[in-house]
Amino acid sequence: DSGVTQTPKHLITATGQRVTLRCSPRSGDLSVYWYQQSLDQGLQFLIQYYNGEERAKGNILERFSAQQFPDLHSELNLSSLELGDSALYFCASSVGGQGPEAFFGQGTRLTVV
Amino acid sequence: EDKVVQSPLSLVVHEGDTVTLNCSYEVTNFRSLLWYKQEKKAPTFLFMLTSSGIEKKSGRLSSILDKKELFSILNITATQTGDSAVYLCAAYSGGGADGLTFGKGTHLIIQP
């Protein structure tokens, strides 16, 4: 158990809908990273937050947004969902803003039908 | 564009064999190379390599980085069925684009 908690574990929703994925980082970790993993693309970095502020952006679509709250939990919002958004979404956390050694949650499996 | 390429994509060996997994990278402002093991869901951290030529070891697993040739290898000796997993390699740039650039992974299957 990495100490990173993601909810829900599985999510099935229709195209055009909006969903929110939630992540609680390990105790003491200030950085939260979001990744998308699909069969053809592998693990893709989406976005990073550090102590409530956006730190870096990767391949995140405009339909997706994220935030980190004062208690350091983070939410990833996915809107106007398309079939191609079906994937495993991981959250990872690390202590600092620069360290790459991140611990991953178990992921949320999103299926868009 | 940052790129990490792993080979082979898939590998099937018998228990007890030794395997070598390869990872090459082209990353701007490279800082470190990380290996993860992904069994069912979450990738679990194995190694982080920052310096060239220094081997990191954990039990039957070891890894080394060559910063001149831009690659890393992960060795697993005396493989066991529990080693079956996808092994992911990631390069960390630490620059403006924080986060890790992952390869697509090597799917390792250990047959009894």
- Give a three-class secondary structure readout of A8-30: CCEEEECCCCCEEEEEECCCCCC
Q: Are strands A64-68 and A5-7 parallel, antiparallel or unpaired?
A: unpaired
Q: Could you read off the pLDDT of A58-86 as tens digits, one per residue?
A: 889 999 999 999 999 999 999 999 999 99
> Does residue A55 have a pLDDT over 60?
yes
Q: Could you read off the pLDDT of B73-86 as tens digits, one per residue?
A: 999 999 999 999 99
> Does residue B56 have a pLDDT over 50?
yes
Distance separating alpha carbons of residues B84 and A33, to the nearest angstrom: 26
pLDDT of residue B12: 94
Cross-strand bridge partners of residue B95: none
Answer whether B102 touches A (CB < 8 Å).
yes
Residue A98's pLDDT band (cuts 50, 70, 90): low
Distance separating alpha carbons of residues A6 and A22, to the nearest angstrom: 6
Q: Name the percent of chain A in helix, strand, coil, to the closest 5.
A: 5, 55, 45
pLDDT of residue B96: 44
Q: Could you read off the pLDDT of A23-39 as tens digits, one per residue?
A: 999 998 998 999 999 87
> In A, which residues are within 8 Å of B25 by CB distance?
none
Q: Could you read off the pLDDT of A39-52 as tens digits, one per residue?
A: 777 888 899 899 99
pLDDT of residue B101: 87
Nearest CA in chain A to B30: A100
Would you say B73 and B52 are in contact if contact means Cβ atoms under 8 Å apart?
A: no
CB-nearest to B45 from A88, A98, A101 is A101
Interface with B, mutate which of A4, A9, A95, A104 (most B CBs under 10 A): A104
Query: A57: which residues sit within 8 A by CB, 6+ positions away?
Result: A46, A47, A48, B97
Would you say A4 and A104 are in contact if contact means Cβ atoms under 8 Å apart?
A: yes
Would you say B24 and B71 are in contact if contact means Cβ atoms under 8 Å apart?
A: yes
Answer whether B99 touches A (CB < 8 Å).
yes
Query: Nearest to residue B4, comparing CAs of A88, A41, A89?
Result: A41
Mean pLDDT of chain B: 90
Q: Average of pLDDT values for B10-26?
A: 95
The number of residues making up chain B comes to 112
CB atoms within 10 A of CB B67: 15
Distance separating alpha carbons of residues B91 and B87, to the nearest angstrom: 14
Residue B97's pLDDT band (cuts 50, 70, 90): very low
pLDDT of residue B98: 55
Tokens for B56, please give them: 């990191």
Alpha-carbon gap: A79 to the closest alpha carbon of chain B (Å):
23
Q: How many contacts, defined by CB atoms under 8 Å, are there between A and B?
A: 60
Residue A5's pLDDT band (cuts 50, 70, 90): very high
> In B, which residues are within 8 Å of A32 by CB distance?
none
